[in-house]
Structure 1
Amino acid sequence: MALTLNWSNDQEKLPISDTLIALLEKLLQEAGQAEQVEDGEVALSFVTDEEIHALNKEYRGIDRPTDVLSFSMEETTDEELDIVYELEEGEETPEGFTHVLGDIIISVEKAKEQSEDYGHSIDREIGFLFVHGFLHLIGYDHEDEAAEKEMIAKQEAILQKVGLTR
């Protein structure tokens, strides 16, 4: 198996080019290699500020738009059922079964605004947000200074491997 990217564009504010998608697929492979994640599916949605604002309010209790949200399928809460399918030794993954890592949602409006604020390309900003979201999907966070430094270093190393520098 391999890492796969399934994406949707639910906004009309910024065209999403084939070149950008190819770049994100390359970032996914680099991030997976760096973190030793060999297979799984990542769903990526490009949305408006309005849509991400609603999601941020509903799921995080924060009443404003944000740049990126990640919803990991690797984590469960007390309210969720813990459904696990474990392969027996030597058993093959069932045909058609894909290990879903989770969803990444990016506000293209926030990405455009931030790319202008930071003085780099929109592709670099979307790439940064995508890698950031991927790292959240596999368990990283930035709840304290040490964790934030580690996550930023990992993001920058992956971005530099594909030439997305500031």
Structure 2
Amino acid sequence: MKLRHLSVLCCLATFAAGAHADIYKRVDEDGHVTYSSVPIKGAKKLHLEPLPTMAPPAKPRNSDAASDFRVNSETQNRRDNTRRKILEDELATEQKALDDARAKLKDNQSFPEMLKDANGQPQPDPAKLREKVDNLQEDVSSHEKNIEALKTELSHLN
């Protein structure tokens, strides 16, 4: 196992040595510049200084970081009042929609859709009635849940 590690290390050292090659620059009669790692007739060896390495610049510390940023109480009260107004408007709209849905449900239960039977007499269609009542009850339930959620949000503002 140690022999294997040693051989891998030797291979890596060989590759690393190849990375430090000399560079040659040749300019021909037409002005074409050729760079090469192999000496070419008429080429000059370039002596390049290693690039300086330096630490990345420190990130500036912002004293107004979001974690400790606070608005003054007047601004916050104005925001809260605006939010409260929006929630109250939504609550009123949702309450009206709930009242309408309940009225539709009551009307549908009082006056179900009628089909004519074989004798031509109107009879309620139980399948359509059940489907319509289920949809209307689902609407009522949805509006009730929305109202509860809006009331919860409003209670958090108080």
TM-score by length of 1: 0.19
> Whose helix fraction is larger, Structure 1's or Structure 2's?
2
> Whose strand fraction is larger, Structure 1's or Structure 2's?
1
TM-score by length of 2: 0.20
